[in-house]
Amino acid sequence: MKLLEEKIRQDGKAVNEHILKVDSFINHQVDPALMQDMGREIADHFRSRGITKVATIESSGISPALMTAFALEVPMVILKKQPSKILNQDLYQTVVTSFTKETNYELTLSKKYITAEDHVLLVDDFLANGEAATAAIRLIRMSHATIAGLGVLIEKSFQPGREKLKSQGIEVYALARIGKMAENYIEFID
Amino acid sequence: MKLLEEKIRQDGKAVNEHILKVDSFINHQVDPALMQDMGREIADHFRSRGITKVATIESSGISPALMTAFALEVPMVILKKQPSKILNQDLYQTVVTSFTKETNYELTLSKKYITAEDHVLLVDDFLANGEAATAAIRLIRMSHATIAGLGVLIEKSFQPGREKLKSQGIEVYALARIGKMAENYIEFID
């Protein structure tokens, strides 16, 4: 998506070879019209797949997922982060180890909101290591739902997320793919 | 907003006199089309006020705030929750004590995204004790921005949130106002 690449070039900031700041339009301040355009583009890519739910991970995936779900006219389900294990028979639960934040958390999903009949599109803001997406997919599969794919705004293609998901049979669709970064330097993959 | 009252009657669940579950369309599973309608209604109420930013509190306020900001054609700013004090000169910070969850957290806002020139509408899903809203307003005022008001989806009018905000000069606009609850019983205020 050329629009997002241009926005990243203009308002994003490559801090070093790993850290991209997009705080001004995606993470902290959000551009709602751009978010709708991005959600619509992800929706268009997956439109013919019979998706019944859009799932996302709390909380930075909520904006793109809401706009994607709106465009597909299906509900959005937010996979919730819990700081510690809670005991609840009505929930699916899985532990996520975050390398970037060096913390563990519990990802949870109410059994009511994704079932074996669902075909789920996962949407998130970033794909890097694929650790959060892998946990989300593990959680969704506990319900025996099928997974249509993962749609993300920005993929750090120099990290192993896409390969990790591909090896699990998950299609990844990214609006902007970054091949290489350095301080104040960003190289996109077409 | 009669549509929301009907939805609460149909799909919400009053667990007891304090707890209302709206997990199936607001908190855990989200109905994007309803969320757009609700965001538009909040936007319409405040439309003539010269609002420059919509602010919300991570994470359950993001969906209604995004749709409100979209309708007002202004950016949304997410006030971020941090589990512990971080030292950063680029941030405004304030501590929030949550009575419902019995925890403390730090609410943070980058100095870049709300400034003295802004007129800010705060949007959240629920208003109950008003503790989160009060902290958000305290944080926004650190920037010397002015506050247009608070728009919420559901107000528990039997709790002191509205009075607390009114005493600070903040107008509250709620799409649905609950006057009284009991197990499987909900009374709305017109």
pLDDT higher than 90, residue A86: no
Q: What share of chain A is helix, strand, coil (3-state, %, to 5)?
A: 35, 35, 30
- B-facing residues of A in 35-54 (CB < 8 A) are 35-36
Calculate the average pLDDT of chain B: 95
The residues spanned by each domain of chain B are: 2-78+117-189
Lookup: tokens for B34: 């309803």
Region A98-112: what's the mean pLDDT? Answer: 84
CA atoms within 13 A on the CB side of A28: 18
| A119 DSSP assignment | E
Which CATH code, of 1.10.760.10, 3.40.50.2020, 3.40.50.1580, 3.30.1330.40, is assigned to A2-189? 3.40.50.2020
Lookup: tokens for B164: 């607390």
Best of B13, B22, B34, B62 to mutate (most A CBs within 10 Å, chain A): B62
Cα distance from A95 to chain B (closest Cα, Å)?
Answer: 19
Cα distance from A33 to chain B (closest Cα, Å)?
Answer: 6
Cα distance from A59 to chain B (closest Cα, Å)?
Answer: 6
- pTM score of the predicted model: 0.97
Cβ of A28 within 8 Å of Cβ of B70? The answer is: no
Confidence tier at A88 by pLDDT (50, 70, 90): confident
Task: Report the alpha-carbon distance of residue A57 to residue A109 in Å, rounded.
Answer: 10
B79 shares contact with chain A (CB less than 8 Å): no
B104 shares contact with chain A (CB less than 8 Å): no
User: What ipTM was reported for this prediction?
Assistant: 0.96
pLDDT in tens, B4-37: 999 999 999 999 999 999 999 999 999 999 999 9
Instruction: Give me the pLDDT at residue A100, please.
Output: 65
Cβ of A77 within 8 Å of Cβ of B28? The answer is: yes
Contact predicate B75/B38, CB 8 Å: no
Query: Which one has a higher pLDDT value, A96 or A186?
Result: A186
CA atoms within 13 A on the CB side of A96: 27
Nearest CB to A28: which of B59, B67, B77?
B77
Instruction: Give me the pLDDT at residue A19, please.
Output: 95
Instruction: Give me the pLDDT at residue B69, please.
Output: 98
Nearest to A49 by CA among A139, A138, A114, A118: A118
Confidence tier at A101 by pLDDT (50, 70, 90): low
pLDDT higher than 90, residue A85: no
Region A12-23: what's the mean pLDDT? Answer: 96
A-chain residues near B42 (CB < 8 A): none
B-chain residues near A108 (CB < 8 A): none
pLDDT higher than 70, residue B100: no
Task: Report the alpha-carbon distance of residue B62 to residue B27 in Å, rounded.
Answer: 10
Task: Report the alpha-carbon distance of residue A144 to residue B129 in Å, rounded.
Answer: 40
Cβ of B113 within 8 Å of Cβ of A29? The answer is: yes
* Chain pair A-B, CB pairs under 8 angstroms: 98
pLDDT higher than 90, residue A83: no
Cβ of A63 within 8 Å of Cβ of B66? The answer is: yes
Region A19-42: what's the mean pLDDT? Answer: 97
Cβ of A30 within 8 Å of Cβ of B78? The answer is: yes
Any idea which of A59-73, B60-74, B85-99, B139-153 has the lowest mean pLDDT? B85-99
Lookup: tokens for B137: 């307003």
A-chain residues near B24 (CB < 8 A): 112-113
pLDDT higher than 70, residue B101: no
pLDDT in tens, B108-131: 999 999 999 999 999 999 999 999
pLDDT in tens, B44-91: 999 999 999 999 999 999 999 999 999 999 999 999 998 777 778 899
Contact predicate B8/B176, CB 8 Å: yes
Task: Report the alpha-carbon distance of residue B124 to residue B146 in Å, rounded.
Answer: 18
Task: Give the torsion sign (CA, B67, B68, B72, B73).
Answer: negative
Instruction: Give me the pLDDT at residue A187, please.
Output: 97
Region A129-146: what's the mean pLDDT? Answer: 97
Region A130-155: what's the mean pLDDT? Answer: 97
pLDDT higher than 90, residue A173: yes
Q: Does domain B2-78+117-189 have CATH number 3.10.105.10?
A: no
| B49 DSSP assignment | G
